[in-house]
Chain A
């Protein structure tokens, strides 16, 4: 019980920071796609930008339009944030590092994801303004187009695991010695692809960011929001991205397990060498990058951060701790890879039109999802 409360507190306290740096990562990666530098001014290489942004948002005016439905308008972002953060309670971050090992963990996440859309619809409707209303309606249209496909994709994974508990899903992949992505002779790739498409729509990310659609609807459902209330919507969006990536990583990519969990002779490489080299390597790279900076304060700051990263690699070498730490490493590695793919989507594809989105959801993904479910059901028995 104490452990779970501790996990929840850590999640609640550091998540705003993680979300801030996810935004920073997104800005940097998108900037790279467009051959520019991204934020570079605040702190060494722009690394303090998220903190500056958070402080700026705290000091911004909190505007409530006079015609808005006041209480709904005030409550809507909190609804979205609370559903997004609640899902964290059932995510297994590493072996036995999970706040609540409920036997329907996957349903909790799916349910919370669907309820979170209500916060967006409420916010758009209660603004009593034209653009947010259109954004809210689009959000509803998106929900009815993608929720079924997402469920069908998750079902294929559930069928392979034979359980809805997030912990036992990972355990089932461990027992079978294969990630579910590669099981059933590779046929699980189809539900995984459906999952990625539907997850992008579920989290309102480009190319399915119709509820926001800044080039058509000003800012969509959050046009009227400002200050930290707006920031809550952003926090919730990135929390949802993290959660849906974690679900994908758990259900299809083996959760916190290293690749090839049953091949013991790969243990030293994947449990020790790779995490230590990547974390210490990041630290060394930071120190090297710091050497290029002219001003003294950012240079020393970045050098300290690099030194801390190298120190952080130390506990990985302690065999007692390694089991948990390498679990964390692989979990966040997989989640990070999926998040990167979501950002990549945004940097690559133009936005879909509203009716195209419904067509893809209903006429492509649902038949494909059912077909892949039947196919995986037959092949899973062989």
Chain B
């Protein structure tokens, strides 16, 4: 039975190295064996057969950024609960029955109060898209409209 910290974690480290090596090896094998023909159109980004318009790395609105920030908060809360869950059975012995539970209940209720506050504030609601009403309807080019025939 390994005792030291480094001895216990060595296999995890080894697995990381092995997995990365296997990843590189498989890709390298694919590159060596694969048939290659350079082609300007083939090497352009996929856009369902039309010319890609603009770069994909433009600025755009990420509608869920508030949720993403809340996620950090709640994930920290969940991580905070892990050590508590591990020692939970030992916390509630003898005269201190329910001690561990009540302590954490206070914390969780505080976090939950904040959770319901942001819920009622509408942070979790999907931001309504102005929809097609705000965009003027596009006119079909004459060459494509069927009514011309």
Tell me which of B26, B37, B104 contacts A61 (CB under 8 A): B37
Complex CA–CA separation, A125 to B46 (angstroms): 14
Is A62's CB within 8 Å of the partner chain B? yes
- Beta-carbon nearest neighbor of B62 in chain A: A137
**Chain A residue with the shortest CB-CB distance to B15:** A89
Give me the 6 closest cross-chain CB pairs, A-B, nearest first: A228-B30, A129-B45, A85-B19, A151-B78, A144-B71, A78-B23
Question: How far, in Å, is B92 (CB) from chain A's closest CB?
Answer: 6
**B48–A102 contact, CB under 8 A?**
no
Q: Is A52 an interface residue (CB 8 A)?
A: no
B24 at the interface (CB under 8 A from A): yes
- Among residues of B, the one whose C-beta sits closest to the C-beta of A12 is B18
Is B144 interfacial (CB 8 A cutoff)? no
Whether A66 sits at the interface, judged by CB under 8 Å, is yes
Q: Let me know if B71 and A159 touch, CB within 8 A.
A: no
Interface residue count on the A side (C-beta < 8 Å): 86
Distance between B99 CB and nearest chain A CB, rounded to angstroms: 11
B97 and A381: CB pair below 8 A?
yes
How far is A81 from B20 in the complex, measured between Cα atoms in Å?
Answer: 8
Interface residue ranges of B81-107 to A (CB < 8 Å): 81-82, 85-90, 92, 97-98, 101, 104-105
Residue ID in chain B nearest A84 by CB atoms: B19
Residue in contact with A65 in the complex, picked from B14, B23, B43, B68, CB distance below 8 Å:
B43
Chain B residues lying within 8 Å of A65, measured Cβ to Cβ, are 43-45
What residues of chain B lie closer than 8 Å to A57, measured between beta carbons? Answer: 30
B27 to chain A, nearest CB (A): 6
10 contacts between A and B (CB under 8 A): A68-B45, A81-B23, A89-B15, A102-B9, A147-B71, A151-B78, A151-B82, A155-B78, A218-B48, A377-B101
B30–A151 CB distance below 8 A:
no
A-B contact count (CB 8 A): 216
Taking CB atoms and an 8 Å cut-off, the chain A residues in 9-32 that contact chain B are 9, 11-12, 16
From B15, B31, B40, A85 is in contact (CB under 8 Å) with B15
Contact B34 A128 (CB under 8 A): no
Chain A residues numbered 145-185 whose CB sits less than 8 Å from any CB in chain B: 145, 147-148, 151-152, 155-156, 158-159, 162-164
**Helix, strand, loop or mixed for chain B's interface?**
helix
Residue of B nearest to A81 (CB): B23
Closest chain A residue to B1 by CB distance? A101
Cβ-defined contact, B82 with A228, below 8 A: no
Query: What are the residues of chain B within 8 A of A218 when measuring CB–CB?
Result: 46, 48
Question: Interface readout for B27-68 with A: 1 if CB under 8 Å, 0 if not?
Answer: 101110111110010111111100010011100001010011
**Whole-angstrom distance between the alpha carbons of A64 and B104 in the complex?**
51
* CA–CA, A232 and B21, complex, Å: 13
Question: Is residue A97 within 8 Å, beta carbon to beta carbon, of the partner chain?
Answer: no
**Could you tell me if A108 and B88 are in contact, using CB atoms closer than 8 angstroms?**
no
Residue in B29, B71, B115, B124 whose CB lies within 8 Å of A228: B29
Partner of A82 from the list B20, B37, B92, B119 (CB cut-off 8 Å) is B20
Q: From A82, A128, A381, give the contact of B23 (CB < 8 A).
A: A82
Q: With the chains together, A17 CA to B11 CA distance in Å?
A: 22
A318 close to chain B: CB less than 8 A:
no
Check A362 against B12 for contact (C-beta < 8 Å).
no
Nearest-Cβ distance from residue A79 to partner chain B, whole angstroms: 8
Is there a chain B Cβ closer than 8 Å to A299's Cβ? Answer: no
Please tell me if the beta carbons of B67 and A145 are within 8 angstroms of each other in the complex. yes
Q: For A86, what are the chain B residues with a Cβ–Cβ distance below 8 Å?
A: 12, 15-16, 19
Complex contact B46–A162 (CB within 8 A): no
Residue among B10, B12, B92, B98 with max Cβ neighbours from chain A (10 Å):
B12
How far is A84 from B81 in the complex, measured between Cα atoms in Å? 25
Mask, B105-144, CB within 8 Å of A = 1, is: 1001000100100010000101000000000000000000
Contact (Cβ within 8 A) A370 B10: no
Q: Is the Cβ of A5 less than 8 Å from the Cβ of B74? A: no
Q: Does A247 reach chain B (CB closer than 8 Å)? A: no
Within 8 A of B (CB), among A224-261: 224, 227-229, 231-232
Contact of A159 among B7, B18, B55, B85 (CB under 8 A): B85
Closest to B26 in A: A228
Complex Cα distance, B23 from A298, in Å, reads: 33
Interface assignment of A300: CB less than 8 Å from any CB of chain B? no
Check B87 against A1 for contact (C-beta < 8 Å).
no
Query: Are A129 and B46 CB-contacts (below 8 A) given A100-B8, A158-B86?
Result: yes
* Bound complex: CA A32 to CA B71 (Å): 40
